[in-house]
Structure 1
Amino acid sequence: MRKTRILICLILTQLFVVSIFVANTADSLRQQLMGLPDSSKLIKLNELLYQNNRNNVYKIYADLLLEEAQKQNNDFYKGNALLLLMRYYYARNPDSMRFYLKQAEPIYIATNRIEDLCRVKGWNIYTLTNEGTHEQVLGEVESMKKLAARFNYPEGVDMANQALANFYFSIGLKAEGINLCNEILQGMEERGVSRIRRFYLLRLLLNKETKEEYLFKLDTCIKNCEKEGIFRLDEEHTLAFLKQSFHLYSAQYYINQKNALLTYSHLQKLDELENQYNMNTEKIMAQFLWMKYYNLIGDYDKALAVIDRLEQILLNNKRYNDWVTVEDFRADIYYKMGKGMESAKAYRDSKVVRDSIVHAQYYEDLAKLRTQREVDKLELQSKKLELEAEKSHAKALAYGGGVIVLLLICAALGLLAHSRQRYGARLKIAKEKAEEADNLKSTFLANMNHEIRTPLNAIVGFSQIIAEEEDIETRREFARIIQKNNDLLQRLIEDVLDISKIESNTLAFVLSDQDLPVLMQDIYSTILLRMPENVMLQLDDCPNFTLHTDRSRLTQVLTNLLTNAIKHTKEGSIRFGYRVTASELVFYVTDTGEGIPEEQLGRVFDRFVKLTEWTTGVGLGLAISKALVTKLGGRMEVSSKQGQGSTFSVIFPV
């Protein structure tokens, strides 16, 4: 446990130091750039980005380059910055990578950077495979193939098939994955594809199955490069890198074959190569192999010495899963040496760290699952699972970094010591919340039954008597009533469908540039027809502004707010419009209606909430509006005084 606490403290200290370094570096760069002309700023930032693209803090340069390129509307440098940001988030936060991919795709297509686009789309397929969202993988593969075919880029098809082979490996179809890789490799050789592309494929094969056939192909590639005097395959990969990979895979192969002599030969060549070319970043794998080699020949003291060095390197590189693997190896060696107590202690330390990692990942997966499910009786089960993951959640809070976070962790650890005693009380609270959610759903179904039956009864009743009515004016009045109830029923169904699409993340958006004064005038003309006699509708002056958004969804949001204002305003006025500040675009709808009680303000955007029993609808309008605004990159706010009216605001960053 002491080792585990030290490990956590080291992690937090590293995060704190990195956060200070990042902030200072960004401020320093902004100061340096202030005196440069605009074109020089982009060139300078681009140079810094690619000079530091092997450094873990290159995101600083990418963020600043993207910010400056957006100011100057330069697609070339936008594309460079987005590529490095997507690479940064590829292994850290796939959702952020996909966010930047949506921005990058139209830029790459417009500037014909199809290779970069196919590369990041391949990364996206790899992350979907790792996340277990298998139903999306095949669709993304086909989409990528169509893109490559559209731009006559066969290497893009190879990238898509390579990602598909990796997917086969992940679901246990090893033979299918190997066959597909061999087909891709054969096609590459026939077309004379670059050696680096073939190397990527050989590396995938060797990672899944270290065979002499693949080692021979890699060795042949290296020898051909030497004959032709080629020492660099592309900007990132040298011939020395290929040699390093060959000796790594060869050493692993002969360890599996228990051939100590050939293992030692390749490890010696690997060390000579890494020292000659100063390949410090890849020595971790070599240390793993030396550890296995000493274990193979029974030199346990040297194996333990390698383990001590390797664990420190892994901690410095934040590779905690690998640290657990090495600690298990240490325990196994102690066991072979007859040191039972040391072996048990090493197993215990590795188990504690492994559990913390697994619990943290499990908690994250559970949170994602809960966001994709509708409110139902499984809420109770998820609450129980959340309580079981409480320890890992408390630890996750500790990773915020900084002195304040360290103090909070101390408090959390103290709270954790008493968590078992309060488990029963927490479980009861969780059960009550789940039952409340279930009751809310039941209330929603009851409301839906009532709200749908009301217009249906009107439609059915008046439809029956309209045929028997002879007076033309009366028949027209009945027709108006039927049409009014048709519209009400349609709105109810559309609201339920919208909230379902939002929850399942299948709602489509069509983004384009919108002239806001024209849009607002269209909304004014539509709403004016619905106004009651005692209420005046006013559209404030609208400054010229163009917003890149989904016209129909923005219109839906503003119409919902205006319709809501009409419901709750019996007399007075409803005023709406927008204003533009230095950083925000703010739409507003202000009424002089009945207002909202202060204690209810926090609930108005919740689903199925109606503040009074006699209010029409099922309580979805504001919830849908907030969800749509969030999807479009904005936020919603409300202010109100009971008896004086309300103001709803929709805010987008400029």
Structure 2
Amino acid sequence: MRDILFIIYLSLSPILAGSVSAASDLDSLERIVASLPAASKLEKLDELASDKGTGLDYKYYADRLLEEAERQKNDTYKGNALFQIVRYYYSRNIDSMYLFMRKAEPIFLNDKRYDDLFRMKAWYIYALSNNGETDSVISAVESLKALSAKLDFPAGIDMANQALADFYFTTGLIKEGIALYEDVLRAMEERDAPLAKRFTIVRHLLNKDINETKRLFYLEKLEGYIADCEEKGIEMLDVDNPLYYVKYLYHRSYALLGIDKKDLSMTSKHLAQAEKLVKDNNIRNEDYTIANIRLFYYQIAKDYDRGTTLADDLIDYCLKRGRVVGALVIMKNKASLCYDVGRGMEAAKTYREYIAMKDSVTNAKFYKDLADLRTRHDIDKLELANKKMELEAAHSRTKLLVMGGGLSLLLLLCCFLGYISYSRHKYGLQLEKARDKAEEADRLKSAFLANMNHEIRTPLNAIVGFSQVLVDEEDKETRQEFADIIQNNNELLQRLIGDVLDLSKIESNTISFIYREQDIPSLMKEIYNVILLRMPDGVELVLDDCEELKMETDRNRLTQILTNLLTNAIKHTRKGFIRFGYRKVDSSVEFFVQDSGEGIPEDKIKMIFSRFVQLDDWSKGVGLGLAICRGLVEQMKGKIWVTSRLGEGSVFYVALPLIHDNTHKTG
């Protein structure tokens, strides 16, 4: 059963939905949104931001919705936008997720949107658990339960317990997690919670390794939910759970139970029903799951021909998508199937292929372990030789003491006096170096504080000054102009503080990185869409052709690096173009950002990546962006450099490893 669940888990990895590939379609959609009246514009943006299977960049539209809702002072849609942004950052950046969750909380409390509020807070607990911040999970759960009691919202306690159960599963406390899920289900039934919420709990329980009796018990509950819905004519339990999906899960779970029991009749009956539901309703991501269950059915039915054909198809499918672990499991099952039907030679051949592939997967780990053992062996040999030398030296000293007597004592005394003299001299040098370092640190601290004082006071003075005159100004256009100045300086101040915090994390080596396989063309397109909105008149933004490329990297940190470089190019380009892209070079990926701007003087190229460095006194920003880029790139084991000619433009390069080395510290 665990192998079956493991294969099903592999099949559930997201498959990218279709996206708006033509720029003209996106432009057309933008024109439609722009032409709508204020209220309809909010509705359309809310629809686009909800990501209801459209394949659009819902984060982009959630940002647009937030901006429009703030402009129209509409808290309902503002809350909707913040909810989608929190959902976006849930699996990407826990700090950003927390920031936007705090912004949304007062809106949801005021509008009594408790369900959305508690869902966000439960996501945050899941994120803490996934990030390994175990110390914070229990306190967050207790805080969520206390808030639920304060608001008299019992569903909140259920959500908190679900998050705690997920934490139990993450830490290996499987029985405790299952027991907590069962408690949640009983609490929901006692207060007659909506079927959709109960279905979610039953689905989680059926996906866990529970015994046959419990599985039958929960399958009977599912059957009761289905019958209740059909009797009342309910087609949708909620937006995310149509009735046909509940039926599909019911038949799929029964088919898995039939495989465990080796009951061909039960498996065939329910597998056929599940396949029909997937086909009739076009249930995404489930074809592969059903195919895996069908393979197990062929195995227990000893149907060699169809079983091996399907296994070959599934292996080919996994290898094309880089799912090597899934391919290994299927190859092992294929070999078992061949052996069961008496085809020993083919079983042996499949096992050899399985072993060869498994060896290739584990080869790197094996050689690393071997190298570690050799290193340990060499260290042990050195330690042994060192001990032997120490014993020989001790024996020689004893002989010298016996033979030399007073001479040895005198020599020892001279050595001791020399050692004391040398130690005092060395200590004096250390004190002198420490004094120099302290003076340099004090100078740097003073320079940093002076810079920070100047940079913080500049936007603060503008905010305070224009806030005072804004009250007395009667002309509406002038008031709007003052308000825009205040807003721009507020954003500058926020960016300064954010950059200082990022730089502090980098220099203290406390910044965290989450490495996953990323689709680079889609990431570059996302950055292009965001930067395009910031481009000044007379400057063209160009994204080079993007070859298909997957690399292991931290999506958020790579986006931050490229966005900082593009923002820097915008500040120094008045006309012409800004072009960016990438190319694969051996085992690394080389990104570039080129502009036709003012260029960098030769005497400033070496110091351009230092803190608070600006080309002139009129440049916008505070000079921390490139320093942050350098710090992030170095911690990601990459390189960053620049080439430039004054008056002709600059090209910034960033080279990062194609595959992340797990032995490196990730923060």
Query: Shorter-normalised TM-score: what interval?
Result: 0.5 to 0.7
Tell me the CA shift for residue 82 of structure 1: 4.2
Deviations 1:531-562 (A, max 9, x none): xxxxxxxxxx999514557989969999xxxx
Q: Give CA deviations for 1:435-483 in whole Å, capped at 9, x if unaligned.
A: xxxxxxxxxx97995379889xxxxxxxxxxxxxxxxxxxxxxxxxxxx
Given that 1:327 and 1:350 are in contact with CA atoms closer than 8 Å, whether structure 2 keeps it comes out as no
* TM superposition shift of 1:334: 4.9
| Residue in 1 that maps onto 2:548 | none
- The residue that corresponds to 2:558 in the other structure is none
Please tell me whether the aligned partners of residues 121 and 144 of structure 2 are also in contact (alpha carbons under 8 angstroms). yes
Determine whether 1:58 maps to 2:56. yes
CA distance in 2, matches of 1:92, 1:625: 23
Aligned match of 2:156:
156
Residue type at the aligned position of 2:56 = Y
Look up the match of 1:567.
Answer: none
1:268 offset after TM fit, Å? Answer: 2.2
* Letter in structure 1 aligned against 2:435: H
Distance in 2 (alpha carbons) for counterparts of 1:543 and 1:281? 47
Residue 292 of structure 2 is aligned to residue 295 of structure 1: no
**2:234 corresponds to which of 224, 230, 236:** 230
Deviation readout 1:506-550 (Å, 9 max, x if unpaired): xxxxxxxx96436689xxxxxxxxxxxxxxxxxxx9995145579
SS for the counterpart of 2:286 is: helix
How far apart, in 2, do the equivalents of 1:285 and 1:542 lie?
56
TM-score by length of 2: 0.51
The one of 497, 510, 517 aligned to 2:462: 517
Contact 1:65/1:77, CA 8 A, preserved across alignment: no
The C-alpha deviation readout for 1:228-269, integer Å capped at 9, x for no partner, is: 443321122122221211111122122122222222222122
Deviation per CA, 1:162-217: give whole Å up to 9, x if none. Answer: 11111112212122112212221221111111111111111221111343222232
Q: Partner letter of residue 240 of structure 2?
A: E
| Counterpart in the other structure of 1:184 | 184
Alignment partner, residue 222 of structure 2:
218
Q: What is the CA–CA distance in structure 2 between the aligned matches of 1:216 and 1:321, rounded to whole Å?
A: 34
Q: Residue 601 of structure 1 aligns with which residue?
A: 607
Superposition map of 1:188-587 within 5 A: 188-210=188-210, 211=214, 212-279=216-283, 281-310=285-314, 322-323=326-327, 325-334=329-338, 337-338=343-344, 339=346, 340-349=348-357, 449-450=434-435, 516-517=461-462, 544-546=485-487, 547-548=489-490
Letter in 2 for 1:601: M
Residue deviations 1:335-379 (CA, integer Å, cap 9, x gap): 6542123442355456657989x99xx9xxxxxxxxxxxxxxxxx
* Inter-CA distance 134–624: structure 2 relative to 1 (3 Å threshold): farther
Looking at structure 2, the residues matched to 553 and 278 of structure 1 have their Cα atoms a distance apart, in angstroms, of 46
Q: 1:205 to 1:116 in 2, by over 3 A?
A: same
Contact 1:258-1:296 at 8 Å conserved across structures: yes
Identity among equivalent positions (%) equals: 30
**8 Å Cα contact 2:59-2:88 kept in structure 1:** no
1:424 alignment partner in structure 2: none
Cα distance in 1 between the residues matched to 2:23 and 2:359: 36
TM-score for the superposition, normalised by structure 1: 0.52
The residue matched to 1:545 in structure 2 has which SS?
helix
Q: Counterpart amino acid of 2:77?
A: Y
Moved more, 335-344 or 195-204: 335-344
Residues 135, 329 of structure 1: alpha-carbon distance in 2 compared, 3 angstrom cutoff: farther
Q: Does the 8 Å CA contact 1:247/1:269 hold for their aligned counterparts?
A: yes
What amino acid is the match of 2:76? Answer: F
Cα offsets for 1:623-645 (capped at 9, x unmatched): 999779x99xxxxxxxxxxxxxx
Do 2:46 and 2:65's aligned partners in 1 also have CA atoms closer than 8 Å? no
Structure 2: stretches of 5+ with no match in the other structure: 1-14, 369-374, 376-429, 453-458, 467-481, 501-533, 538-566, 572-600, 613-621, 633-667
Which residue number corresponds to residue 64 of structure 2?
Answer: 67
- Which deviates further from its counterpart, 210-219 or 169-178? 210-219
- Letter of the 1:195 partner, please give it: L
* Offset of residue 290 of structure 1: 0.9
State the Cα distance separating 1:149 from its structure 2 match. Answer: 3.3
Mapped to 2, the partners of 1:296 and 1:556 lie a distance apart of 59
Alpha-carbon distance between aligned partners in 2 of 1:556 and 1:269, rounded to the nearest angstrom = 54
Do the aligned residues in 2 keep the contact of 1:62 with 1:82 (CA within 8 Å)? Answer: no
2:141–2:164 CA contact under 8 A, matched in 1: yes
Query: Deviation digits for residues 560-612 of structure 1, max 9, x if unmatched?
Result: xxxxxxxxxxxxxxxxxxxx99899999xxxxxxx997475146439xxxxxx
Contact kept in structure 1, 2:302 and 2:337, CA below 8 Å: no
Task: Give the Cα–Cα distance (whole angstroms) in 2 for the partners of residues 515 and 216 of structure 1.
Answer: 65
* 1:201 alignment partner AA: I
Find the aligned partners of 1:175 and 1:518 in 2 and give their Cα distance: 57
Q: Equivalents in 2 of 1:18, 1:278: separation in Å?
A: 15
Residue 30 of structure 1: how far off its partner (Å): 1.8
What is the match of residue 479 of structure 1? none
RMSD over aligned Cα atoms: 5.4
Q: Is residue 299–residue 307 contact of structure 2 (8 Å, CA) maintained in 1?
A: yes
Shift of 1:292: 0.9
Q: Cα distance 1:146–1:252, how it changes in 2: closer, same or farther (>3 A)?
A: same
Q: Secondary structure at the match of 1:58?
A: coil
- The one-letter amino acid paired with 2:53 is R
Equivalent in the alignment of 2:142: 142
| Aligned 8 A contact 1:516 1:544 in 2 | no
Distance across 2 between alignment mates of 1:49 and 1:153: 28
Return the letter of the residue paired with 1:605. Answer: R
Cα distance change on mapping 1:191 and 1:306 into 2, 3 Å = same
**2:300 partner letter:** L
Structure 1 contact 105–117 (Cα < 8 Å) conserved? yes
| Distance verdict in 2 for CA 1:165–1:520, change over 3 Å | same
Q: Label 1:18 to 1:285 Cα distance change in 2 as closer, same or farther (>3 A).
A: closer
Q: Which residue of 1 aligns with 2:517?
A: none
Contact 2:185–2:198 (8 Å) recurs in 1: yes
Closer, same or farther: CA 545–451 of 1 in aligned 2, 3 Å: farther
User: Is the contact between residue 199 and residue 222 of structure 2 (CA under 8 Å) also seen in structure 1?
Assistant: yes
CA contact (8 A) 1:517 1:545 kept: yes
1:102-148 CA deviation, whole Å, 9 max, x = no partner?
A: 55445444543331232233233223333433223223323333343
Q: Which amino acid counterpart does residue 182 of structure 2 have in structure 1?
A: N
Contact 1:324 1:353 in 2 (8 A): no
Alignment-derived partner of residue 408 in structure 2: none
Q: Which residue of 2 aligns with 1:477?
A: none
Unaligned 5+ runs, structure 1 = 1-13, 363-380, 382-444, 456-487, 499-513, 522-540, 559-579, 588-594, 607-620, 632-654
Q: Is the 8 A contact 1:250 1:263 kept in 2?
A: yes
Contact 1:300–1:333 at 8 Å: present in 2 too?
Answer: yes
Mapped partners of 1:118, 1:130: distance in 2: 18
Partner of 1:120: 120
